[in-house]
Amino acid sequence: MQKSSPGGGRPMPSRPSHDLGMPGQRRSFTRHWISGLAGLAFLAVCLSIGLTLADEPAPVRGVVLAAEGKPAEGARVRWQGGAVAVSTDAEGAFTLHGVGRRVTAWKQGYFIAGQAATRSALQLRLRPLPDQDNLDYEWVDPRPDRRHEDRCGNCHSTIHDEWAASAHARSAGNRRFLNLYEGSDWHGRPNVGWNLLAEHPLGAGVCTACHAPTASERGVREDIRKVAGVDALGVHCDFCHKIAEASSERLGLSHGRFGYDLLRPTQGQLFFGPLDDVDRNEDTFAPLYKESRYCAACHEGTIFGVPVYTTYSEWLDSPARREGKHCQSCHMTPTGTLTNIAPGKGGIPRDPLTLSSHAMPGATPEMLRRAVNLKVHCDELLGEAQVKVEVAAGDVGHRVPTGFIDRQLILSIEGVGQTGRQVEATSGPLLSPLAGLGENRAGLFFAKQLEDLDGQAPVPFWKPCRIRADTRLKPGEPAEASWTFPAEGLAGVRIRLIYRRFHAEVQQAKAWPDDAICIIDQVVAVPPNHRWGR
């Protein structure tokens, strides 16, 4: 049966019983259904945002005041132990987001201030540093002792132990150093070999400036053998953390303590350091502690007219400096295991990558292997074995070797016969006799070489002398050389890279134990086109 249209026109077809209504009604229902879903989704988003905003605490606001209650503009404010810092505005005001238990503030020329966090406005007052150095200050012994609560090692045990095993802790009493200073040998016998006191007595007081920088008594400064107490501990904690600034005006000419501006308090205590949120009312932050300039006064020195230490100026000219790396990047690299510098003594958990190691390694086997790259190419041609070697200063911010002027790096090349006998090279550079490996030994000698005015070497820097050659490796400038060996009966070529701290001749005269470090010792076979590298 058909129904008539409302307007009386053509009859309309019948609809199945499950039809929900007119076409217009269906479209209306669909629109309402989609709108409802969209509304629910929007409501869910709003609720999510609302919950997120509700979970995020309100920021902490406050003001930092300096001397006489004046606003401290440009003060650095952070959650203690946190990574993000903000600066105060011209009114000393700050807004600090995030969460934490304590807020700290620091500004140049002031102690670090701190206050427990509250939701009410904070007011942090900065206390100015002393305006002059106290020359009568008594240095603090770093060694742990519960009878003396101010000892560094009582609270900072890990850092103390790292320092105690370092060269800095032994700088005043190093046995080889004293042998050169007083002319003795390893067994204490006098008048053996090089002797600063006998050969340049007016220069006897130079050494204490770096090796015992806190020695101040007249007579002790002129003879480092007389240092005692804290002064005998060399470059110790309290000295390093009293350095307010490092001068660069007379770099290399003002050594050790004379190259630093110290600030020692008359009352209470004062420590400079690399953390800007240590608020014990006796600490302040110094950016210097993360810069190579901090090391320069002792690691750059022209002594008696001779450039004995040039590590800092080498760094100034290095790719490492251009990449933003400093001495501390390699020599105070965080171990990744230290998370609290004073556990149980008021220290707080910190990111281990922000806490520097105080082991301060120098010429250790690990550091030397990082510092030098070696490539070897061997070929056999027309009955001869040809060996080409490239040596390069690798991941390092100075020349290799560096430090004291007598340091040496020796590349030794030896042919090894099938019966084990030594096969001499028929061409290629030979080692200097200063290397101490005998005559006619193939190889390269990397060192700053001094000679006396008659051309004789080795010679101590305190005698009249001149630089014969400086063949040390420079970052970015590899050294290459080739040698030829008779191929018949040749089993391989032994490549050794050896580091020495002193001339072999001096070491033998002083009866010092051999402390040479063999960085690489490898026998390379010589079939055609054999290559080996590290």
Same domain? 348 vs 372: no
Number of domains in the chain: 3
Burial class (CB within 10 angstroms; exposed 0-12, middle 13-18, buried 19+) of 162: buried
Give the chain's mean pLDDT.
90
What band does 46 get if pLDDT is binned at 50, 70 and 90? very low
For 437, residues 6+ apart whose C-beta sits below 8 A from its C-beta are 410, 412, 431, 443, 504
Is residue 491 located within the same domain as residue 399?
yes
Distance (Å, rounded) from C-alpha 434 to C-alpha 85? 55
Domain harbouring 421, CATH code: 2.60.40
> What's the pLDDT at 389?
97
Tell whether 320 and 428 lie within a shared domain: no
Higher pLDDT, 410 or 30: 410
132 pLDDT more than 50 = yes
Q: Give just the sign of the alpha carbon dihedral 225, 229, 231, 235.
A: positive
Give the residue carrying structure tokens 């007595």: 201
What distances in angstroms separate CA 182 from CA 1, 204, 207, one per listed residue? 130, 9, 12
Kindly report the three-state secondary structure assignment for every residue of 46-63. HHHHHHHHHHCCCCEEEE
Whether residue 269 is found in the same domain as residue 375: no
**Lowest-confidence region among 20-29, 131-140, 250-259, 356-365:** 20-29
Specify the length of the chain in residues.
534
Taking residues 18-32, what's their average pLDDT?
40
In a domain, 139, yes or no: no
Percentage above 90 pLDDT, the chain: 81
CB-based contact 441:435 (threshold 8 Å): yes
Residue 443 has pLDDT above 60, yes or no: yes
- Mean pLDDT over 276-296 rounds to 97
Q: Within this chain, do residues 348 and 481 fall inside the same structural domain, yes or no? A: no
Residue in 384, 413, 395 with CA at minimum distance from that of residue 489: 384
Look at residue 346 and tell me if it is in a domain: yes
Asked if 462 contacts 199 with a C-beta cutoff of 8 angstroms, the reply is: yes
Beta-sheet pairing, 122-125 with 60-65: parallel
Instruction: Establish if 400 belongs to a structural domain.
Output: yes
Residues 260 and 312 in one domain: yes
Q: Residues 327, 392: one domain?
A: no
User: Which residue range is the domain that position 380 belongs to?
Assistant: 365-533
For 495, counting Cβ atoms within 10 Å of its Cβ (0-12 exposed, 13-18 middle, 19+ buried), the class is buried
CATH number at residue 95: 2.60.40.1120
Let me know whether 269 and 349 are in one domain.
yes
pLDDT for the residue 68: 86
pTM of the model: 0.87
Of the candidates 183, 219, 178, 186, the one whose C-alpha atom is nearest the C-alpha of residue 198 is 183
Shared domain for 445 and 524, answered yes or no, is yes
* Residue 65: partners with Cβ closer than 8 Å, 6 or more residues away: 71, 72, 92, 123, 124, 125, 126
Evaluate whether residue 440 is within a structural domain.
yes
Please say if the pLDDT value at position 8 is more than 90: no
Tell me which of 56-65, 142-151, 388-397, 398-407 is least confident. Answer: 56-65
Whether residue 47 has pLDDT greater than 80: no
Task: Output the pLDDT for position 253.
Answer: 87
pLDDT of residue 319: 97
Q: Which range is least confidently modeled, 115-119, 289-293, 335-339, 452-456?
A: 115-119
Task: Please identify, among 330, 354, 378, the residue that sits at the C-terminal boundary of a domain.
Answer: 354
What one-character DSSP code corresponds to residue 477? B
Q: Give yes or no for residue 437 having a pLDDT over 70.
A: yes
263 in the same domain as 158: yes
Q: Is residue 215 part of a domain?
A: no
CA distance 366 to 340: 26
The pLDDT of residue 44:
52
Q: Does residue 317 lie within any of the structural domains? A: yes
**Which residue, of 332, 354, 376, is where some domain finishes?**
354
Residue 344, in any domain of the structure: yes
Q: How confident is the model at residue 120 (pLDDT cuts 50, 70, 90)?
A: confident
Among 354, 384, 402, identify where a domain stops: 354
pLDDT higher than 50, residue 26: no
| CB crowding 267-304: b at 16 or more within 10 Å, else e | eeebbbbbbbbbbeeebbbbebbeebbbbbbbbbbebe
Q: Is 32 helix (H, G, I), strand (E, B) or coil?
A: helix
pLDDT of residue 527: 64
C-alpha closest to that of 399 among 330, 471, 327: 471
- Cβ atoms of 101 and 115 closer than 8 Å: no
Residue 143 has pLDDT above 50, yes or no: yes
Q: Does 400 score more than 80 pLDDT?
A: yes
Is residue 78 assigned to a domain? yes
Give CA–CA dist 517/497, Å, rounded. 9
Looking at the fold, whether 116 and 254 belong to one and the same domain comes out as no
- How many Å apart are CA 246 and CA 331, to the nearest integer? 19
Which whole number is the average pLDDT over 341-353?
96
DSSP of 149-199, one letter per residue? TT-HHHH-HHHHHHHHTSTGGGTTT-HHHHHHHHT--TT--SS-S--HHHH
Q: Which of 217, 199, 462, 91 is nearest to 208 (CA)?
A: 217
* Amino acid 295: pLDDT: 97
Answer yes or no: do 160 and 298 share one domain.
Answer: yes
Q: What is the mean pLDDT of residues 387-413?
A: 97
Q: What residue has token string 């080996």?
A: 532
pLDDT of 53 over the 70 cut: no
Q: What is the pLDDT of residue 212?
A: 98
Q: Which residue has the higher pLDDT, 18 or 188?
A: 188
Helix or strand or coil: residue 474? strand
Q: How confident is the model at residue 218 (pLDDT cuts 50, 70, 90)?
A: confident
Per-residue pLDDT averaged across 49-59, rounded? 61
Distance CA 302, CA 448 (A): 14
Token pair of 454 as six digits = 């008659």
31 has a pLDDT exceeding 70: no
